[in-house]
């Protein structure tokens, strides 16, 4: 938008006084922040209104992205950037003596997601708005987001995160758009003028109230909507006796109370199933209501609406859309089923079996009796349809209801027209292994959409020095056309460029070091290699492999203080699910080793470990620009894609990686000389599963370095640990080492020696860094959402020029 500094100053001054009856000079940060947030909203409001109006036109297909999580991060700065008023506002505030940076830091980081899946949804929202795709988010407005992590004596403690305490300037509550969602009760079908209609009794009605947040595109025009639902008591129930009222109220409000803190893991709680149906039903009802404003017959739904299911959490979209088409719209089964499949599409994000949702039949039939009936019918019709084409085993393996459970992935695959994986390797594994049966039955439903990240948040906003430097080299067109970053390759042998790149990295490292000094009172040497592993704590991601290698360096230095080791700072950030004991033990172990090494005066600056508390989007924005090395070391086949890998390469980190997830595509982009690959391949892992020939114990016995390191877990070397050392030792040496940590140890150690070698040659290292930045453009989520739009949703992005 066009905004002059003087106009901004005038608006800002007036609004602050209107809101708080204060002069700017007497205002505090909170007042300054809320004023700016409100002003931004007014600046975006016309575009928001116009965007919404244009979306009501016939033939303007709408995309609804259903996700249990949206991990947006702070929005003040990204909204300013996307409105193209960041500089004007910064300068205007400066003249009032206000530092924009302080207002940015004042905003709470809304943690409405766990990790990759929720952050991906947030990147997609940004990219859809920027690419002018009519994309709406649909989710839950949790009162408590992901817990705050604190370390007490090295152990993770969880503290509730009441992110709404100071209000939320970005959202609009729309009570007039509320809908009713029904749970429990009895249902039966009655004949009413020739068709069966459901009758209900004793059901529990919950009011779903939407809160809309504008998603501002980086295109001067589009403002999309993220709609998050909050559960409230139905007005009709407020007349109950007071005690009963309070009890029921808290039961109902429970539904949108808290985000489940599990990542890639499912734990079959009734309340979770309630949450899933709650936002699915509310979302679909409001979609149908909006569709009806177009005055088209319901059979046109699939021309006007696409609904995307982010993992299986919203898979109840299948029976819920069927329910509405059958019961409310009076469609026949066949037509309703065709339409449902045309509207829905599904993304799979994991092959880990513990993450696959399966709900007990009784739970479903009690909580959602009508939905249960519909699922049973879908299942029976599926089995009947397949009977003449496949054998009984095939049908048993792929049907929805089996062994007393409802398999949500099967429901999602059978009920939609598209299923995609999130990286080439992941999609291949789905087709060949995990979902092979379905691939044989529905080959044309399967497709790949490699994940992406928004370069606006992950470079323009979080790494301003690098952004300016890139602009000075190749201009700024890459900001909207990120593969233009390949133009940087022209400078790969230009010493000036490479030294400047090293300087920028050092600046970012110093900035992070200042933060660590301030918050942890730990001094870091910005000339050391900053080696970063930030992601959820999970056994398959193998933070433990990283730690074992660090211990090997430590013992090497203890034995020979002059050993040839380039100084390194190992940086970890990770939350563990509160009930995931093994992951929490690993956190304790890392913290204990950190304490031991950081306080060892003989080690000094040569090795440091920083485990940042409460890793979050805003911390990622600080850490990633400061990374020299990106650790992407999951066991091959286990990480569906990864997206931190893309953020780190975009910021010039060199990746140490297994051939897992999108790491494979990163290697293809930068070439084998600019990434450090090690470890088993997915094929080798599957071969081990097949022949059962992996014996972790042998690696413990035969590799002396590994032997020394593992013994340290159990011989009292590491002060402060209790049972953790023994438990972790046993998991590796005695209980089979499920994620092949010992198998990959030696190869990893050698890969890390390579890092140490190459880093000594600044020009060589910075050339690798440059080529990583140059190759990262393809991983922009702008391209990813455009592929979804074209190949799955069947909607073209409008040109933003007209
Ligand atoms: C989650 O964050 C992911 C998968 C899941 O099944 C659940 Br539940 C949560 C992650 C994958 O582990 C990452 O590899 C992937 O990059 C990310 O989803 C986005 O696709």
Backbone angles phi, psi at 310, to 5 degrees: -85, 100
- Pick the residue whose CA is nearest to atom 8 on ligand 1: 264
Beta strands 358-360 and 405-407 are antiparallel
Ligand 1 atom closest to the Cα of residue 350 is 6
The per-residue pLDDT for range 641-700, each reduced to its tens digit, is 999 999 999 999 999 999 999 999 999 999 999 999 999 999 999 999 999 999 999 999
CB 680 within 8 A of CB 722: no
What is the pLDDT at residue 798? 66
Query: How far does residue 641's CA lie from ligand 1's centre (Å)?
Result: 7
Count of beta carbons in the 10 Å neighbourhood of residue 30: 12
Query: How far does residue 693's CA lie from ligand 1's centre (Å)?
Result: 29
The helix (H) or strand (E) run that includes residue 661 is none
Structure tokens at 771: 């080529």
Mutating to test ligand 1, I would choose from 349, 430, 620, 682 the residue with most ligand atoms within 8 A of its C-beta, which is 349
Half-sphere exposure of 493 (CA within 13 A, CB side): 0
CATH architecture of 458-687+740-784: 3-Layer(aba) Sandwich (3.40)
Query: How far does residue 583's CA lie from ligand 1's centre (Å)?
Result: 17
Structure tokens at 270: 């009734």
Q: What CA–CA distance (Å, rounded) separates 581 from 586?
A: 9
Closest CA to 759 of 463, 544, 506: 506
Ligand 1 atom closest to the Cα of residue 119 is 19
- Pick the residue whose CA is nearest to atom 18 on ligand 1: 117
Ligand 1 contact via 452 beta carbon (within 6 Å): no
Mutating to test ligand 1, I would choose from 116, 423, 779 the residue with most ligand atoms within 8 A of its C-beta, which is 116
Ligand 1 contact via 409 beta carbon (within 6 Å): no
Ligand 1 contact via 628 beta carbon (within 6 Å): no
Q: For residue 594, what are the contacts with CB-CB under 8 A and spacing of at least 6? A: 609, 610, 611
What is the pLDDT at residue 144? 98
The per-residue pLDDT for range 107-137, each reduced to its tens digit, is 999 999 999 999 999 999 999 999 999 999 9
Half-sphere exposure of 116 (CA within 13 A, CB side): 26
The per-residue pLDDT for range 171-217, each reduced to its tens digit, is 999 999 999 999 999 999 999 888 889 999 999 999 999 999 999 99
Ligand 1 contact via 643 beta carbon (within 6 Å): yes
Ligand 1 contact via 632 beta carbon (within 6 Å): no
Ligand 1 contact via 784 beta carbon (within 6 Å): no
CB 241 within 8 A of CB 264: no
Which residue ranges make up each domain of the chain?
A: 56-73+109-417, 458-687+740-784
- The answer to whether 56-73+109-417 and 458-687+740-784 have equal CATH topology is yes
Superfamily of domain covering 56-73+109-417: Glycogen Phosphorylase B; (3.40.50.2000)
Output the CA angle 712-716-718, nearest 5 degrees.
65
Query: How far does residue 643's CA lie from ligand 1's centre (Å)?
Result: 9
Ligand 1 contact via 226 beta carbon (within 6 Å): no
Q: For residue 163, what are the contacts with CB-CB under 8 A and spacing of at least 6? A: 108, 109, 110, 111, 144, 145
Find where tokens 């699915």 sit.
280
Ligand 1 contact via 355 beta carbon (within 6 Å): yes
Largest Cα separation within the chain, whole Å, is: 91
Task: Judge residue 766's burial from the number of C-beta atoms within 10 Å of its C-beta, 0-12 exposed, 13-18 middle, 19 or more buried.
Answer: buried
Distances (CA, A) of 736 to 18, 144, 251, 540, 788: 67, 38, 44, 14, 40
Q: What CA–CA distance (Å, rounded) separates 746 from 707?
A: 12
The per-residue pLDDT for range 58-94, each reduced to its tens digit, is 999 999 999 999 999 999 999 999 999 999 999 999 9
The per-residue pLDDT for range 326-378, each reduced to its tens digit, is 999 999 999 999 999 999 999 999 999 888 999 999 999 999 999 999 999 99
Ligand 1 atom closest to the Cα of residue 265 is 8
Q: Kindly list the strands in the beta sheet with 568-573, ordered across the sheet, starting from the edge strand earlier in the chain.
A: 607-612, 568-573, 529-534, 629-632, 654-657, 676-677
Query: How far does residue 271's CA lie from ligand 1's centre (Å)?
Result: 22
- 3-class secondary structure, 128: helix
Ligand 1 contact via 263 beta carbon (within 6 Å): yes
What is the pLDDT at residue 118? 98
Query: How far does residue 147's CA lie from ligand 1's centre (Å)?
Result: 19
Query: How far does residue 357's CA lie from ligand 1's centre (Å)?
Result: 14
What is the pLDDT at residue 722? 87
The per-residue pLDDT for range 414-441, each reduced to its tens digit, is 999 999 999 999 999 999 999 999 999 9
Q: Is the pLDDT of residue 801 over 60?
A: no
What is the pLDDT at residue 799? 53
Ligand 1 contact via 351 beta carbon (within 6 Å): no
| Average pLDDT across the chain, whole number | 97
Q: Kindly state the percentage of the chain with pLDDT values over 90.
A: 95
Q: Which residue has the higher pLDDT, 280 or 193?
A: 280
Q: Is the pLDDT of residue 403 over 70?
A: yes
Closest CA to 653 of 626, 615, 672: 626
Ligand 1 contact via 117 beta carbon (within 6 Å): yes
Distances (CA, A) of 64 to 526, 718, 765: 45, 51, 43
What is the pLDDT at residue 484? 98
- Pick the residue whose CA is nearest to atom 1 on ligand 1: 117
Ligand 1 atom closest to the Cα of residue 536 is 2
Q: What CA–CA distance (Å, rounded) separates 379 from 407?
A: 10
ipTM for this prediction: 0.97
Q: Is the dihedral of CA 320, 325, 329, 333 positive or negative?
A: negative
CB 613 within 8 A of CB 151: yes
Closest CA to 457 of 25, 53, 119, 45: 119
Q: What CA–CA distance (Å, rounded) separates 420 from 128?
A: 18
Structure tokens at 783: 């391209």
Q: Is the pLDDT of residue 9 over 80?
A: yes
Distances (CA, A) of 655 to 405, 438, 541, 576: 41, 34, 15, 24
Query: How far does residue 787's CA lie from ligand 1's centre (Å)?
Result: 19
Beta-bridge partners for 758: none
Q: What residues are labeled active site?
A: 349, 535-536, 541, 643, 647
Find where tokens 């948040």 sit.
457
Q: For residue 416, what are the contacts with CB-CB under 8 A and spacing of at least 6? A: 309, 318, 341, 344, 345, 346, 445
Query: How far does residue 185's CA lie from ligand 1's centre (Å)?
Result: 35
Ligand 1 contact via 322 beta carbon (within 6 Å): no
Give the predicted TM-score (pTM) of the model: 0.98
Locate all alpha helices (DSSP H) within 660-695, ordered by sequence: 663-670, 682-691
Mutating to test ligand 1, I would choose from 112, 115, 346 the residue with most ligand atoms within 8 A of its C-beta, which is 115
Taking residues 741-757, report their average pLDDT: 98
Q: Is the pLDDT of residue 322 over 90?
A: yes
Ligand 1 contact via 574 beta carbon (within 6 Å): no
The number of residues in the chain equals: 802
CB 88 within 8 A of CB 8: yes
Half-sphere exposure of 596 (CA within 13 A, CB side): 20
Region of residue 671 (phi > 0: left; psi between -120 and 50: alpha; otherwise: beta): left
Mutating to test ligand 1, I would choose from 68, 123, 272, 350 the residue with most ligand atoms within 8 A of its C-beta, which is 350
Ligand 1 atom closest to the Cα of residue 640 is 14
Q: What CA–CA distance (Å, rounded) separates 92 from 176?
A: 38
Ligand 1 contact via 115 beta carbon (within 6 Å): yes
- 3-class secondary structure, 110: coil
Q: Is the pLDDT of residue 802 over 90?
A: no
Torsion angle (degrees, nearest 10) of CA 536, 542, 545, 547: 20
């Amino acid at each position: 938008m066009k905004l002059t500094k003087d106009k901004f100053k005038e608006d800002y001054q007036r609004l602050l006084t209107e809101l708080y009856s204060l002069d700017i000079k007497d205002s505090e940060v909170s007042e300054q922040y809320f004023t700016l947030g409100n002003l931004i909203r007014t600046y975006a409001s016309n575009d928001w209104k116009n965007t919404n109006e244009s979306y009501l036109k016939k033939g303007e297909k709408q995309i609804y992205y259903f996700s249990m999580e949206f991990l947006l991060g702070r929005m003040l700065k990204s909204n300013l950037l996307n409105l193209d008023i960041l500089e004007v506002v910064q300068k205007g505030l400066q003249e009032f003596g206000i530092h924009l940076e302080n207002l940015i830091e004042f905003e709470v980081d809304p943690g409405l997601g766990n990790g990759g899946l929720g952050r991906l949804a947030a990147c997609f929202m940004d990219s859809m708005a920027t690419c002018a795709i009519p994309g709406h988010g649909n989710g839950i407005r949790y009162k408590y987001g992901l817990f705050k992590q604190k370390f007490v004596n090295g152990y993770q403690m969880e503290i509730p995160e009441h992110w709404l305490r100071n209000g939320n300037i970005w959202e609009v509550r729309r009570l007039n758009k509320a809908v009713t969602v029904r749970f429990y009760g009895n249902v039966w079908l009655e004949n009413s003028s020739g068709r069966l209609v459901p009758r209900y009794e004793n059901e529990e009605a919950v009011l779903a109230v939407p809160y809309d947040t504008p998603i501002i595109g980086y295109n001067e025009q589009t403002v999309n909507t993220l709609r998050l639902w909050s559960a409230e008591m139905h007005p009709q129930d407020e007349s109950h006796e007071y005690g009963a009222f309070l009890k029921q109220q808290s039961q109902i409000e429970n539904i949108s109370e808290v985000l489940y803190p599990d990542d890639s893991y499912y734990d079959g709680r009734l309340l979770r199933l309630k949450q899933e149906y709650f936002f699915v039903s509310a979302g679909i009802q409001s979609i149908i209501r909006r569709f009806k404003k177009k005055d088209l017959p319901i059979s046109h739904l699939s021309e006007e609406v696409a609904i995307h299911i982010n993992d299986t959490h919203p898979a109840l979209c299948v029976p819920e859309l069927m329910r509405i088409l059958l019961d409310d719209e009076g469609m026949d089964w066949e037509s309703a089923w065709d339409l449902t499949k045309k509207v829905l599409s599904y993304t799979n994000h994991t092959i880990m079996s513990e993450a696959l949702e399966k709900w007990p039949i009784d739970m479903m039939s009690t909580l959602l009796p009508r939905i249960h009936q519909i699922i049973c019918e879908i299942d029976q019709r599926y089995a009947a349809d397949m009977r003449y084409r496949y054998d009984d085993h095939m049908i048993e393996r792929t049907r929805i209801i089996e062994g007393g459970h409802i398999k949500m992935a099967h429901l999602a695959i059978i009920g939609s027209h598209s299923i995609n994986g999130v990286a080439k390797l992941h999609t291949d594994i789905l087709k060949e292994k995990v979902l092979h049966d379905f691939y044989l039955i529905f080959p044309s439903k399967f497709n790949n959409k490699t994940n992406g990240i928004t370069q606006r948040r992950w470079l323009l906003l979080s790494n301003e020095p690098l952004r300016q430097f890139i602009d000075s080299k190749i201009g700024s067109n890459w900001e909207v056309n990120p593969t233009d970053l390949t133009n940087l390759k022209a400078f790969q042998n230009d010493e000036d460029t490479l030294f400047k790149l090293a300087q920028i990295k050092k600046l970012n490292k110093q900035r992070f070091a200042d933060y660590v000094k301030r918050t942890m009172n730990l001094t870091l040497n910005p000339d050391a290699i900053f080696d970063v592993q930030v992601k959820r704590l999970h056994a398959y991601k193998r933070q433990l492999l990283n730690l074992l290698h660090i211990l090997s360096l430590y013992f090497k230095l203890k034995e020979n203080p002059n050993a040839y080791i380039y100084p390194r700072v190992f940086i970890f950030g990770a939350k563990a699910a509160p009930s995931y004991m093994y992951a929490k033990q690993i956190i304790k172990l890392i913290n204990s080793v950190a304490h031991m090494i950081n306080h060892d005066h003989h080690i000094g600056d040569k090795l440091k470990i920083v485990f940042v508390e409460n890793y979050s989007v805003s911390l990622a924005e600080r850490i990633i620009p400061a990374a020299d090395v990106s650790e992407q070391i999951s066991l091959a086949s286990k990480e569906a894609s990864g997206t931190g890998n893309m953020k780190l390469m975009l910021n010039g980190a060199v990746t140490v990686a297994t051939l897992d997830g999108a790491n494979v595509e990163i290697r293809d982009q930068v070439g084998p000389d600019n990434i450090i690959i090690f470890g088993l391949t997915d094929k080798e892992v599957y071969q081990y599963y097949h022949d059962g020939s992996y014996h972790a114990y042998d690696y413990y016995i035969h590799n002396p370095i590994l032997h020394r390191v593992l013994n340290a877990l159990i011989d009292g070397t590491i002060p402060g640990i209790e049972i953790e050392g023994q438990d972790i030792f046993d998991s590796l040496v005695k209980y089979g080492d499920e994620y092949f940590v010992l198998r990959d140890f030696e190869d990893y150690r050698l890969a890390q020696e390579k890092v140490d070698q190459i880093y000594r040659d600044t020009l060589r290292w910075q050339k690798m860094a440059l080529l990583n930045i140059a190759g990262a453009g393809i991983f922009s989520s702008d391209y990813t959402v455009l592929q979804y739009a074209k190949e799955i949703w069947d909607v073209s992005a409008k040109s933003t020029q007209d």
